[in-house]
């Protein structure tokens, strides 16, 4: 399904002066630190590493010109400024090294330093301490079927899960640093998140509420999943390429890397899965990639600073938001030419686009005007028929699978707006996010024959044995997690079991002929360690989850 990647303009700087008598309250900061050594640096470009860019705009201050976080080099920023008619100037750079927390800065608005270093791994059980006999194993309710929205929290480094039945956040899962784009597999069982500052993609398994990360290129921002769920496509904005992953493998493996253009942003996949369309920010083009052999076919010139991309359900059109000139380009896929360009109005700065199931409407998140433009794509030429006000600085938009609602992330006020597409009105506003960026929706089913999963935790006395952990490394042996999967009392062989703890997937193993799978973890852990085994389901068999928690004797006795 389409990613809604939002690596855009989350930081704005010094724009045109407000009207006389109005206080200039639009301040922006671009925070950097000096580049780390080549072996460890993330997003380093010519000695300066972009660490965090966050929007700061007070109400009534007027539209802001922004510095795009995808643009790392000074000459690139100059190109962006020129492409946008010179509207961007004066990028503030801080040479303060290291990471910090939010603090107040100049200009009357908040100034943010990065506050996240990535999610930490679970501390594993100290093998020298023998656990008590109070280890427990119990089934865990598998998340119910339904439609869910997944929102990337750029500042918190997490993914929020929204149950669209009542618009409540049901869980929040740690991913990587500065998550941007989000995409979901067609069956809703897997979510992919592009982590810009971690240079990784997180595979999130909603049933386990856990994630594992896969290295990709430099500064990944956009991600999309093929219609058959076998491939994930990730745009790397500093590497200027796209990574192709085996999306149905655990962990996903890199299949190919395709050069696409300068500063690639969003990516969309054609309905038949044979083409990938990538917006190249600084080239002003859309790259067309043949996914059958992962080669670049052609590039299509569009508007200034193209950002968001969406393909029509019938595969005949591709819609591209041009952030720099406030337009929407409509590409005919048969000829790879622009059929029409739709003006969205002054100050719109379109960031993302989603297309309805019947292809008759396109919904555009307008960063500059704080609304969502509704476009009649059946008209000739396509035209804007409504503008729905949402939160401040919207960056992402995604439609529910039935097309009845649109979920819009507003990065400035940390909300998600829910639009009824029939009435074109906001029916709900969900708060509590942390710089929400990418958003995607999917229906998750739990159909199939009932299954049963058990999990036990075994320790080897003094813990000086050796075993295979998630990476196959041999080392100090910790607990061995043993799972058994059955259906109707019979073992299920050849099924993937995910072993997780503290929102992190430690191992993925396949059940044997007896329905058994085992995972060895190693190292030290907290006094009360809990682990979870999850069977995501395979369409024929329903998902199942079990957990085990152990109290160490030292903790029970008050000793360490």
Whether pTM > 0.85 for this model: the answer is no
Q: Which helix (H) or strand (E) holds 513?
A: none
Total Cβ atoms within 10 A of residue 60: 10
Domain with CATH 2.60.40 in the chain: 447-556
Report the C-alpha dihedral over residues 426, 432, 435, 437, rounded to 10 degrees: -50
DSSP state of 477: -
Find the Cα–Cα–Cα–Cα dihedral 288, 289, 290, 292, rounded to 10°.
-150
Closest CA to 485 of 446, 447, 533, 452: 452
> In the beta sheet, which residues pair with residue 505?
500
d(CA 208, CA 410): 28
pLDDT at res. 223: 99
Q: Which pLDDT value is given to residue 187? A: 86
Alpha helical stretches, state H, 4-161: 74-83
pLDDT score, position 466: 34
By the 8 A CB rule, do 269 and 282 touch? no
User: Measuring CA to CA, how many Å separate 519 from each of 17, 91, 234, 466?
Assistant: 60, 49, 29, 12
* 447-556 fold: Immunoglobulin-like (2.60.40)
Cα separation, 466 vs 480, in Å, equals 11
The pLDDT profile of the chain, 560 residues, written as one tens digit per residue, is: 554 444 444 333 323 333 333 333 333 333 333 333 333 333 333 332 333 333 333 333 333 333 343 444 444 544 444 444 433 322 233 333 333 333 323 333 222 223 333 333 322 222 233 333 334 444 555 556 789 999 999 999 999 999 999 999 999 999 999 999 999 999 888 999 999 999 999 999 887 787 889 999 999 999 999 999 999 999 999 999 999 999 988 789 999 999 999 999 999 999 999 999 999 999 999 999 999 999 999 999 999 999 999 999 999 999 999 999 999 999 999 999 999 999 998 888 999 999 999 999 999 999 999 999 999 999 999 999 999 999 999 999 999 999 999 999 999 999 999 999 999 999 999 999 999 999 999 998 666 788 899 999 887 654 333 334 444 444 455 688 999 999 989 999 999 898 887 666 778 899 999 999 999 876 655 556 788 898 877 768 888 888 888 655 443 333 33
Contacts of 334 (CB under 8 A, 6+ apart): 316
Tally the C-alpha atoms within 13 A of residue 126's C-alpha that lie toward its C-beta: 11
End-to-end, the C-alpha distance of the chain in Å comes to 49
Q: For residue 526, what pLDDT is reported?
A: 56
Cα-based distances in Å from 89 to 46, 67, 349: 20, 9, 17
Element (H, E) at 147: strand 146-153
**266 closest CA partner among 160, 395, 149:** 395
pLDDT, residue 26, reads: 34
Instruction: Report the C-alpha gap between 374 and 23 in whole angstroms.
Output: 32
| Separation CA 267–CA 292 (nearest Å) | 16
DSSP tag of 554: H
Q: Which two tokens stand for residue 468?
A: 């295979």
Q: What is the chain's length? A: 560
Query: How far apart are the C-alpha atoms of 217 and 235, rounded to whole Å?
Result: 8
What pLDDT, on a 0 to 100 scale, did the predictor assign at position 262?
98
Q: Report the alpha-carbon distance of residue 67 to residue 88 in Å, rounded.
A: 7
Contact between 320 and 360 (Cβ < 8 Å): no
DSSP assignment letter at 525: B
Upper half-sphere CA count for residue 448 (Cβ side, 13 Å):
17
> In degrees to the nearest 10, what's the CA dihedral of 61, 180, 4, 306?
60
Instruction: Convert 230-256 into a string of H (helix), E (strand) and C (coil).
Output: CEEEEEECCCCEEEEEECCCCCCCEEE
C-alpha torsion 9→15→20→24, nearest 10: 70
Question: Is residue 78 classed as helix, strand or coil in its secondary structure?
Answer: helix
Give the Cα separation of 346 and 191 in Å (integer).
35
User: Pairing state of beta strands 415-420 and 452-458?
Assistant: unpaired
DSSP 3-state assignment of 457? strand
- Is the distance from CB of 418 to CB of 429 less than 8 angstroms? yes
What count of Cα atoms within 13 Å lies in the side-chain half-sphere of residue 165? Answer: 8
**What is the per-residue pLDDT for 137?**
47
Residue 56 backbone dihedrals phi, psi, to 5 degrees:
-140, 110
Close Cβ partners of 489 (under 8 Å, ≥ 6 residues apart): none
Tokens of 27: 């301040």
């Amino acid at each position: 399904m389409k990613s809604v990647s939002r690596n855009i303009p989350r930081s704005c700087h010094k724009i045109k002066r407000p009207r006389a008598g109005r206080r200039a309250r639009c301040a922006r900061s671009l925070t950097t630190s000096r580049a780390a050594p080549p072996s460890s640096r993330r997003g380093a470009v010519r000695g300066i590493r972009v660490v965090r860019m966050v929007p700061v705009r007070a109400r009534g201050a007027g539209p802001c010109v922004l510095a795009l976080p995808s643009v790392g080099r000074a000459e690139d920023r100059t190109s962006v400024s020129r492409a946008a008619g010179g509207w961007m100037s004066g990028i503030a750079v801080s040479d303060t090294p290291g990471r910090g927390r939010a603090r107040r800065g100049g200009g009357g608005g908040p100034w943010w330093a990065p506050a996240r270093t990535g999610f930490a791994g679970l501390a594993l059980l100290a093998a020298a301490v023998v656990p008590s006999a109070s280890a427990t194993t119990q089934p865990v309710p598998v998340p119910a079927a339904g439609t869910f929205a997944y929102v990337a929290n750029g500042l918190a480094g997490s993914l929020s899960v929204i149950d669209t039945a009542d618009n409540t956040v049901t869980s929040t899962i740690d991913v990587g640093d500065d998550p941007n784009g989000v995409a979901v597999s067609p069956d809703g069982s897997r979510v992919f998140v592009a982590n810009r500052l971690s240079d990784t993609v997180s595979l999130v398994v909603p049933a386990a509420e856990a994630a594992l990360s896969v290295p990709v290129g430099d500064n990944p921002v956009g991600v999309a999943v093929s219609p058959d769920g076998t491939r994930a496509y990730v745009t790397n904005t500093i590497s200027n390429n796209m990574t192709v992953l085996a999306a149905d493998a655990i962990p996903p493996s890199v299949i190919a890397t395709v050069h696409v253009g300068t500063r690639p942003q969003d990516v969309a996949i054609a309905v038949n899965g044979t083409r990938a369309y990538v917006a190249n920010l600084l080239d002003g083009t859309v790259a067309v990639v043949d996914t059958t052999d992962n080669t670049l076919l052609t590039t299509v010139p569009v508007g200034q600073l193209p950002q968001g991309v969406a393909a029509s359900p019938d595969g005949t059109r591709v819609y591209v938001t041009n952030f720099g000139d406030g337009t929407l380009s409509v590409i005919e896929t048969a000829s790879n030419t622009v059929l029409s360009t739709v003006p969205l109005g002054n100050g719109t700065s379109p960031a993302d686009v989603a297309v309805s199931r019947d292809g008759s409407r396109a919904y555009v998140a307008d960063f500059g005007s704080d609304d969502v433009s509704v476009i009649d794509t059946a008209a000739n030429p396509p035209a804007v028929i409504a503008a729905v006000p949402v939160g401040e600085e919207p960056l992402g938009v995604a439609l529910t699978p039935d097309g009845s609602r649109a979920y819009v992330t507003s990065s400035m006020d940390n909300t998600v707006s829910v639009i009824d597409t029939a009435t074109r009105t906001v029916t709900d506003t969900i708060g509590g996010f942390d710089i929400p960026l990418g958003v995607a929706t999917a229906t998750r089913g739990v159909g199939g024959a009932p299954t049963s999963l058990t999990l036990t935790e075994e320790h080897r006395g003094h813990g000086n044995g050796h075993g295979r952990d998630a990476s196959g490394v041999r080392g100090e042996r910790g607990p061995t997690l043993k799972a058994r999967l059955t259906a109707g009392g019979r073992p299920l062989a050849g099924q993937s079991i995910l072993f997780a703890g503290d929102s992190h997937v430690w191992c993925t193993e396949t059940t044997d002929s007896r329905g058994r799978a085992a995972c060895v973890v190693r190292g030290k852990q907290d006094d009360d360690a809990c682990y979870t085994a999850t069977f995501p389901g395979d369409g024929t068999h329903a998902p199942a989850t079990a957990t085990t928690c152990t109290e160490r004797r030292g903790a029970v006795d008050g000793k360490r």
